[in-house]
Amino acid sequence: MTAAMDRSIVITTINDRTAAIRAFEGMTGWRTLIVGDRKTPEIAGSESLTFFSLAAQESSDFKTARLLPHNHYCRKNAGYLLALREGARTIYDTDDDNIPYKRWGVPPFVSARALRSDAKFLNVYRYFTKEEVWPRGFPLDALREAGGEAEEVSTEVPVGVWQAMADGDPDVDAIYRLVHGKEARFEQRPPVHLGAGVYCPFNSQATAWSERALPFLYLPCTVSFRFTDILRGYVAQRLMWEEGLHLGFTGATVRQERNPHDLMRDFADEVEMYLQTRRLVDLLDGLRLQGDAFQNLHDTYRALSDIGIVNPDELTIVSAWILDCEGLLGV
């Protein structure tokens, strides 16, 4: 392992080096961390790539790593921790089937343009395309009431997370794929952000996290593969507002050439997401948070456990995550 870098790309995979992994491995000034699971073949490291095998995760001193379930996307949490240990203060979250364009990059964590709306949920994808498309995790019963119309206003704010669009087969839900099944291509429009109180789900496909948002990277472990990053995204939005941070969106920086999926299985795994999102946001809006970032994270998951959105075991893992992060971030 070479010297630490302050910018890391974190990917989990069950494949060998894909075209996307090779492309990210070649990004100057970034370290790529590959998080293994039971099905992942051994991947040879390089000067700019580290493979964090399942055995290495579970023999590490990360308390979180020994609690994470196998064969679940939340194993990525171990990769985030390794990135922090290596000195990362910007983390780019993506998957092994997102191939970066030549224009790929992460903008400064500040936005000068807002999408202002009276709606609780705003489909920001409609800002970047006229096609009828929505992000995975957008409440289905809000699609007609939040078609994407919003007023653009000039206001400069700090951004905690940038979510980029993904051309090709973007991160939409199984219902979109089963009903429409069309590829998407997004316009290159100026980056925008949402104000506090307005939600849009964001995922883990092409997402850059600033240093101040890093505590909220935690992927919940007691919900389905298809819900975990969406639940994290809603929680992160709410907790970033407490820190004066905002969620921003940019045009496409990657093209997703999606790995094979069983769409009906995806649909089944997404059902809890469809059914829980309104309850989730009602809970988030009603929270009265008074702690620091980590205390607020714990209190939020305790509240989610109280209403059954996550299992009570989640609190044990969240507590381990907080202990690990506090040591690595010097809190």
324 in Cβ contact with 81 (< 8 Å): yes
Cα dihedral value 99, 126, 200, 216, nearest 10: 30
Is position 201 within any domain? yes
Residues 58-101 pLDDT 10s: 999 999 999 999 999 999 999 999 999 999 999 999 999 999 99
Q: Tell me the pLDDT band of 147, cut-offs 50, 70 and 90.
A: very low
What the block records as the tokens of 256 is 């997703």
Secondary structure of residue 278 in the 3-state scheme: helix
- CA–CA distances in Å: residue 213 to residues 159, 170, 210, 221, 274: 9, 24, 5, 19, 26
pLDDT number for residue 50? 97
Question: What is the distance between the terminal CA atoms of the chain, rounded to a whole angstrom?
Answer: 25
Q: Tell me the pLDDT band of 207, cut-offs 50, 70 and 90.
A: very high
Is position 2 within any domain? no
Average pLDDT over residues 190-200: 96
Domain enclosing residue 185, as ranges: 7-329
User: For residues 10 and 152, what is the distance between their CA atoms, to the nearest angstrom?
Assistant: 33
Angle at 14 between CA 53 and CA 324, to 5 degrees: 40
Beta strand 110-116 pairing with 192-194: parallel
Angle at 300 between CA 297 and CA 304, to 5 degrees: 135
Residue ranges with strand state E in 13-105: 31-35, 49-52, 90-94, 98-100
User: For residues 112 and 158, what is the distance between their CA atoms, to the nearest angstrom?
Assistant: 9
Residues 20-64 pLDDT 10s: 999 999 999 999 999 999 999 999 999 999 999 999 999 999 999
Is position 1 within any domain? no
Mean of the per-residue pLDDT values of the chain: 94
Q: Which residues contact 71 (CB under 8 A, 6 or more apart)?
A: 37, 38, 39
> Does the model's pTM come out above 0.85?
yes
Residue 116, number of CB atoms within 10 A of its CB:
14
Is position 116 within any domain? yes
Phi and psi angles of residue 5, each rounded to the nearest 5 degrees, phi first: -120, 155
Is position 81 within any domain? yes
Give me the number of domains the chain comprises. 1
Secondary structure of residue 222 in the 3-state scheme: coil
What the block records as the tokens of 237 is 């939005």
142 in Cβ contact with 127 (< 8 Å): no
pLDDT number for residue 297? 98
Is position 280 within any domain? yes
Which of the 8 DSSP states describes residue 9?
E
